[in-house]
Structures are given as C-alpha cells and as structure tokens.
C-alpha cells in the first residue's frame, strides 16, 4: 500500500482525501502545520507528499527548501488558483507537479498514479543496472544518479526522468507534449508551464556546453533537443 503524507491545514479536505484515496488503496497520514509535516517527512518513509503552499508556521516553500537537500520524495504542491508565481516558485524549489485549488479528487488521483508509474519504472531500471553516457554526462539507473565527469549532480526524480528521455534522443527533437506525457504522466494545458520550469532547473544544474551554448535547446513550437557536445 502506497503511503502518502498530506500537509494541509484544511482538515475537511484532508478527511475527504483520506476517504477518497483510501478507497483507491492508498494510506494517508495528515499534518496541519509545515513544521509537523517536515518532521514526519524526514523521519518516516512516504512514497509521495501532497503539500499546500499556505500553511501555519513553516510555509510550503520553506518546507521544500528544507526537504530537498535531504530527500527526493516526489511532491505534488497545492496552490491557489491563478497564483502562477506560486506554481513556478514551487517547481523551482523541487516540487514535481502542482494542482490549483479547488481541484477534483479524481484529477489528484491521476497525478498520484502518474508519479507511482514513474517510481515503478525507475525501480525496474535500477534492477537492470543500465547506464547511459552522452558527452560528459552519464546517468546510472542504479540509484538514479547523474554525473558530469566525476561530479555528481543531484536531480529530483522528475528532472532525472526528463533528462533521461532527452539524452536517449540526443541530437533529435523531442515533442513537448510527448515529453510531458512520458515524464509528467499527462499532457500540458495551454497555460501549463511546469515542463518549462523543470527544463530550466535541469539547465541550471548541468550547466552549458562551452559556457554559452545551451545543452538543452528549445525548438520553438515543437519541443526540446539535447545537443551533442561535438557540435
């Protein structure tokens, strides 16, 4: 049974999610302050965290800042509808996905299942001992790790998934919607910038090829391309 931590001060919402997701086979534990939630997240084994931005005490952003150096557990962030800046900041701090309140429990269920599929795929690849090297970047499925030369670069699970797809298609353009479907588990709506923010985070972490040329290029109107180092 997949254990999920919900950190939200809306007790009615927590009760609703407990009932709805419990019927779908998930085990939920709820915390109503950021401080309590962070303590639970670091001490216990959860497969996913559902995290509200607005919390008493430690807010969702500070929660993520404290969590990410110590844990790569997937996080779905809950934001106020229309607060685009909250979505972007959350993703930049390491959230894997976001939902705007109010949301449909069934939409949340779909996002949770997408995360679960990614985790399962990662576990299967871990068992294969597979690795992939493109230029000075090398990814190892065992441990889901990335190295640039001898330097280890820390990625979230979703960032690792996106980069792996791009590296396996190095030199070829990957359609934006196809990339979102494979890595995020769903297609993007017109105003959904989550994939773009994840790409920006990856670019910042892996650096440019020669100090000025982007490794991951945006092909306007189409998608993204990981450029070969010898170009």
> Ranked by mean pLDDT, which of 7-11, 128-132, 148-152 comes out on top?
7-11
φ/ψ (deg, to 5) at 216? -100, 110
Quick one: pLDDT at residue 231?
44
Instruction: Between 214 and 211, name the one with better pLDDT.
Output: 214
Q: pTM here?
A: 0.73
Sequence-ordered list of residues with C-beta below 8 angstroms from that of 12, at least 6 positions apart, any chain: none
- Whether the CB-CB separation of 155 and 202 falls below 8 Å is answered with yes
Q: What angle do CA 16, 52, 98 make, to 5 degrees?
A: 95
Q: Please check the confidence at residue 68 and state whether its pLDDT lies above 50.
A: yes
Going from the N-terminus, what domains does the chain have, and what CATH number goes with each? 2-117 (3.40.50.2300), 129-226 (1.10.10.10)
pLDDT in tens, 13-23: 999 999 999 99
Whether the per-residue pLDDT at 126 is higher than 50: the answer is no
């Amino acid at each position: 049974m997949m254990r999920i931590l919900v950190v939200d001060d809306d007790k009615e919402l927590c009760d609703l999610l407990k009932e709805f997701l419990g019927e779908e086979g998930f085990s939920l534990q709820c915390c109503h302050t950021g401080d309590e939630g962070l303590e639970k997240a670091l001490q216990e084994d959860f497969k996913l965290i559902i995290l509200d931005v607005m919390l008493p005490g430690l807010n969702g952003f500070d929660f993520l800042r404290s969590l990410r150096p110590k844990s790569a557990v997937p996080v779905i962030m809950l934001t106020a509808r229309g607060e685009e800046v909250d979505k972007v900041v959350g993703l930049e701090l390491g959230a894997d996905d976001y939902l705007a309140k109010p949301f449909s429990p069934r939409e949340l269920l779909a996002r949770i299942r997408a995360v679960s599929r990614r985790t399962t795929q990662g576990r299967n690849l871990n068992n294969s001992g597979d690795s992939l090297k493109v230029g000075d970047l090398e990814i190892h499925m065992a441990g889901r790790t990335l190295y640039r030369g001898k330097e280890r670069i820390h990625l979230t699970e979703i960032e690792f998934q996106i980069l792996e797809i791009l590296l396996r298609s190095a030199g070829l353009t990957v359609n934006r919607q196809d990339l979102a479907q494979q890595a995020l588990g769903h297609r993007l709506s017109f105003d959904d910038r989550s994939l773009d923010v994840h790409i920006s985070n990856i670019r910042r972490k892996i650096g440019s090829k020669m100090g000025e040329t982007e490794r991951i290029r945006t092909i306007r109107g189409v998608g993204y391309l990981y450029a070969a180092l010898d170009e």
